[in-house]
Amino acid sequence: MNAHPQIGAVSALADSLQRVAAEAMRRQAESHPPSHKRTLPLRVGTRGSPLALVQTRAFLTRLTRFCPVLRDMGAFQEHQISTTGDQVLSRALAEIGGKGLFSKEIHEALSAGRIDFAVHSLKDLETTLPPGLELACTLRREDARDVLILHPRLRAELAKLPPDADPLDILPMNAVVGCSSVRRQAQMLHRRPDLRFCLLRGNVQTRLDKLAGGACDATLLALAGLRRLGMEDRADVILSPADMLPASGQGIVGVTARSSDEELLDLLSAIEDPEARAVATAERSLLAVLDGSCRTPIGGYARLLPRENGEVSPGPLGAYDLVLTGLVAREDGSFLLRREVRGAPADAYRLGQELGASLRAESPADIFADIAPN
């Protein structure tokens, strides 16, 4: 579902960009521009991985195509920032600090004023942003599903699977799966307790190279990342949300900025995708209530579906309901709980809170033993 008014958003974006460009040109003509005024180029923070760079550059292309003068002026300057999550690949994320490891250094630079805004994979963002920063913009969601990628020796077996077979049937008994996500691991072990797991971290190509080199029999990746890298053909089995519930924010690019930077916030809001904002709000609200660590398997996936009663409320999403599915599990797959809520997109935050509270209440105490209740 992507039925929202693009024309108005394009017009608003163009107006905002033209104002920024006009102000920049005026200040460049002054011999001593006031220090409190913004100057170009705007500094854009990003991780240095191939996927992060593709996402950041696609975002900047979207901005500048509405206002060529900004492109000609070199309005944006890319700043690649190495994060703890990128530097330490030999250990699980939970062992080196948990959530936010792919955004910590970027947000430190943003808070300190060394960059003006930052582009992220939304699923990598911590649930609660540092003081003074906010999620300024969410872009249209790419396919949120996970995919299974097989070692070449297993790929030939795919054609032998019946159409209605469990997609995990392609994996032999005691197969080794390379994975760094407890969410993925728990869901697979819940259905296939015989599977074994090894730590597999790094960027997309690094993981694929390790798989091809025999480090494991299969691995899992997000379809969104493969598509953005032009590598969708590497996906051997696409797992439906019923088979593998995605992570909160998966497939969405989010942009963070300083809350005090009103001019930039107005600019970024012009390309906001209403559907992405609604589902992201629900999923991140769910995550905030569960407040899981990187050792807590949690899934959250929201989508917009036509209203069952056919009624239409005011606003771009008025003809749709938001359906949010949440999941909590043990890392070994011995416990797994899924629940779902449905309501108006305008109530996305409340729906996430309610579902999170329900999942906590129905889960064994040890699942959240190390987590203080909200």
Q: Which residues form the catalytic set?
A: 124
CA torsion sign, 49 to 52 to 53 to 54? positive
What lies within 8 Å, CB to CB, of 311 at 6+ separation is none
Which residues partner with 78 through β-bridges?
44
DSSP state, residue 121: E
Rounded-to-integer distance, Cα 158 and Cα 96, Å: 37
Structure tokens, 150: 């097989």
CB 147 within 8 A of CB 250: no
DSSP state, residue 247: P
User: Among 94, 55, 98, 101, which residue's Cα sits nearest to residue 78?
Assistant: 55
Rounded-to-integer distance, Cα 85 and Cα 105, Å: 10
Distance of CA 202 to the CA centre of its chain: 17
CB 78 within 8 A of CB 41: no
